[in-house]
Amino acid sequence: MLGQTCRKITGSLNVSPRIEFKRYLWRNSICQQKIDITLKYTDEASGSKANKEPTLYEKFLKNPKSVPLITSRKLENCNKYRQPRQAWLETLSTVEDHKLGMLDLHPDIFAVHPRLDILYHNLRWQEFYKKIDYNWTPSRGDLDVSGGKQMPQKGTGRARNRNRSSIMFRTGAKPLGPKGPRALFYMLPKQYRVQGLCTALSFKYAQNNLHIVDSLEIPTDDPEYIQDLIDTRFWGFSALFVDDTDYMPENITYALAEFPSYNILPVYGLNVRDMLKHETLILTLAAVEKIEQKLLFHSSRNKRSSKFSMDTRYDQY
C-alpha cells in the first residue's frame, strides 16, 4: 500500500510546474553551459581525423601485447564488504618494465591489519625452535675425583676443605651452571603462523616491495642482465624470487648464482624471516594462486593441529 502511494506521488511530482521551472533554471545556468561546451568540443575532436589517437581496442587489434589488459582473477570466499587489492603483472623477459595486466589480490591475505606482535612472535619462533644448547658444566658428582680429604683439618694455614670437587676450588664444580644438551623447542599455534605470513605479505604489498611476474624465464644466461633489470626497476639490493615448484628455469639459476643477495625459493620454503630480510618479493602468478589457496584453507580451519607427540610419531618413541 505504501509503495503504491509513493509511486503516485512521484509521478505527480515530475509533471508539476514547479519542478519544470527548476529544470529550466538549471539548463540556463552556468554549470550546465560548461558541460555543454565540453561535450561539444569533445565531439568535434573525435570527429576530426587529423589528431585522432587510436583507441585501446584499435591498438589491441593491431598488436595485442602493446595494450595492458585487465585480467579478472577469481577470488574464493572473498568478503563482499572488503574490496580486493590490485597489482600489476610484470615480466622478466625484457630489461624494461612492461606491464601485461592487472590482477586482483585477496584482501584477507594481502591487506591484513599490520600486527607487529604476530611478526615478532613468528621471528622469535623461527630463531629459537631449532636451537639446541650444548653447554654443560659438571656438578660435584660428575667430577672424577677421589673422596679423600685434601689436607688435614688443622695445622695448615689454609681454609678447611674435603674434596677437590668443592665449589670453592678453582678446578671444582659449578653448582647451578648449564646442564646438558637442552632444546629450546616450542610450536606456535597454527593461526599465529598463518597470520604471520599474511601480515608479512601485506607489509610487502603496502610498501611497494611486492611484484608479480608471469614466470621466471629469462632470455640469457648472463648475470648482468639481472643486475640491469633490478637497477632499472629500483628493486633494491636484495630480492627474493618465489616460484611454484622446485624445478626452476635454467637461465635464472645460473644468473642468480653469482649474487648472494638475490635468492630463489619455492612456495613451500617461504617464511617471514626471509621475506623481511630481502627488500623485494617477486612472486609468479602460479605461486600467488597456490599461496592464496593454502593460506585461506588453513586460516578457516578449526581442526586442532596434530601435535608432535606419541599419538602421531609412535615410531620415534
Partner 1 sequence: MFIVRKFCSIATLCKTIKPTNFTEKLFKQQDHPTLCLTAAKQFHGSAVHLREPKQDAIVIGDGDRKYEPQSPYRRHWPKRFQFVTSTRFGPTLPRVNKELKHQLPFNYKDKWSDKSALQGANDYIDILGDGTIHPVDLIKGPAFLIGYNANELGRLNRRLRFEGRYLADNFPSELEKILKRIKFLRKKYNYKRGKRVRKRFKYR
Query: Least Å distance between CB 110 and partner 1?
Result: 16
Q: Candidates 80, 146, 180, 247: give the one binding partner 1 (CB under 8 A).
A: 180
Q: Candidates 52, 82, 130, 174: give the one binding partner 1 (CB under 8 A).
A: 130
Task: Tell whether residue 155 is a contact of partner 1 (CB under 8 A).
Answer: no
Which grid coordinates are listed for 115? Answer: 600486527
Residues between 25 and 54 that touch partner 1 (CB under 8 A): none
Cα 172 from Cα 166, distance rounded (Å): 5
The residue among 92 and 267 lying less far from partner 1, judged by its C-beta, is 267
Q: Candidates 25, 156, 183, 220: give the one binding partner 1 (CB under 8 A).
A: 183
Task: Tell whether residue 308 is a contact of partner 1 (CB under 8 A).
Answer: yes
Query: Least Å distance between CB 205 and partner 1?
Result: 18
Task: Tell whether residue 179 is a contact of partner 1 (CB under 8 A).
Answer: yes
The residue among 99 and 182 lying less far from partner 1, judged by its C-beta, is 182
Helices (H), the chain: 2-15, 17-27, 30-47, 56-62, 107-110, 116-128, 190-206, 223-233, 250-256, 272-277, 285-299
Which grid coordinates are listed for 315? Answer: 615410531
Task: Tell whether residue 189 is a contact of partner 1 (CB under 8 A).
Answer: no
Task: Tell whether residue 193 is a contact of partner 1 (CB under 8 A).
Answer: yes
- Looking up cell 611454484, which residue turns up? 244
Cα 109 from Cα 77, distance rounded (Å): 12
| Cα dihedral 242/247/253/257 (nearest 10) | 80
Task: Tell whether residue 260 is a contact of partner 1 (CB under 8 A).
Answer: yes
Cα 232 from Cα 127, distance rounded (Å): 35
DSSP for 280-303, written as a single string: EEEEEHHHHHHHHHHHHHHHT--S
DSSP class of 249:
-
Q: Candidates 81, 186, 234, 314: give the one binding partner 1 (CB under 8 A).
A: 186
- From 71, 91, 44, 78, select the one nearest 211 (Cα to Cα): 91
Q: Candidates 111, 119, 194, 282: give the one binding partner 1 (CB under 8 A).
A: 194
Task: Tell whether residue 142 is a contact of partner 1 (CB under 8 A).
Answer: yes
- Residue at 179: amino acid letter: K
Q: Candidates 190, 227, 249, 286: give the one binding partner 1 (CB under 8 A).
A: 190
Residue 84: CA count within 13 A, CB half-sphere: 15
The residue among 163 and 238 lying less far from partner 1, judged by its C-beta, is 238
Query: Least Å distance between CB 238 and partner 1?
Result: 8
User: Do 93 and 218 form a contact (C-beta atoms < 8 A)?
Assistant: yes
Residues between 62 and 101 that touch partner 1 (CB under 8 A): none
Task: Tell whether residue 236 is a contact of partner 1 (CB under 8 A).
Answer: no
Task: Tell whether residue 271 is a contact of partner 1 (CB under 8 A).
Answer: yes
Q: Which residues bind partner 1 (CB under 8 A)?
A: 126, 129-130, 132, 139, 141-142, 144, 175-176, 179-187, 190, 193-194, 197, 238, 260-261, 263, 265, 267-274, 277, 290-291, 294-295, 298, 305, 308, 313, 316
